[in-house]
Amino acid sequence: MPKFVRDTLLEKLWKRVAVNPEANACWLWTGSTDGHGYGQIASEIQFGSPVKTHRASWELAYGEPIPPGMFVCHKCDTPACVRPSHLFVGTAADNMNDCSKKGRVRKKLTAADACEIRGASGTHRDIATRFSVTKSTVTSIKAGRIWKYAEAMVAASALEWPRLSEHNRRKRDRPEG
């Protein structure tokens, strides 16, 4: 990374970081974030696409680019944290293993879940926490961008399952022969 770009990015980054002086506390990004809570900042290197602040922090702290295809993961599980000692580089598998060890595996939604989310009250973040999904998933469901036909799927399921259950019961109770 050229020195002038490094200095500019470093200045931009530090303007919006709240450094907690306590030992091992997170340093939180207070600027713009994406739908998942990760900080983002404009960069002279990637015109048009913002750089994730935790990735910029890692590169600035360690002075080398993140290898292609690698992730910068959080030991602290705080998306807005940019403290270099809380970050590590790993593969997608490393990231998923870390999530799994910490019990942060996201849930696969059902049509019934989508219907419940659509009708739920409260902040999108609170609803997301309740269903173990992201805030952007809740927003997309409520806006009708995803799970558009959830109600129809639930209704069809209610109509089909009793008939299938009856069919299976008759099949099970039929004498062999």
Task: Write the pLDDT tens digit of every residue in 90-134.
Answer: 998 888 888 778 777 666 788 889 989 999 999 998 988 888 888
Question: Which residue segment(s) compose the domain that 49 sits in?
Answer: 3-105
When pLDDT is averaged across residues 1-11 and rounded to a whole number, the result is 61
**89 lies in the same domain as 115:** no
**129 lies in the same domain as 92:** no
**23 lies in the same domain as 101:** yes
What are the start-end ranges of the H helices in 2-149?
3-15, 53-62, 92-101, 111-119, 124-131, 135-143
When pLDDT is averaged across residues 51-68 and rounded to a whole number, the result is 92
Tally the domains of the chain. Answer: 2
**114 lies in the same domain as 53:** no
162's enclosing H/E stretch is helix 150-173
Q: Which of 48-57, 65-74, 117-126 has the lowest mean pLDDT?
A: 48-57
**Structural domain ending residue among the three candidates 70, 88, 105:** 105
How far is CA 116 from its chain centroid?
Answer: 20
CATH of the domain at 25: 3.90.75
| Backbone conformation region of residue 147, classed left if phi is above 0, alpha if psi is from -120 to 50, else beta | left
| Whole-angstrom distance, CA of residue 74 vs CA of residue 84 | 9
When pLDDT is averaged across residues 56-74 and rounded to a whole number, the result is 92
Contact in structure between 83 and 27 (CB atoms under 8 Å) = yes
- Mean pLDDT over all residues of the chain? 81
Lookup result for tokens 């713009």: 32
| Whole-angstrom distance, CA of residue 43 vs CA of residue 40 | 9
Would the pLDDT of 36 be above 90? no
**Structural domain ending residue among the three candidates 105, 128, 151:** 105
Task: Write the pLDDT tens digit of every residue in 126-149.
Answer: 988 888 888 888 999 999 998 888
Among candidate residues 98, 95, 91, 9, the one with its CA nearest the CA of residue 53? 9
Would the pLDDT of 45 be above 80? no
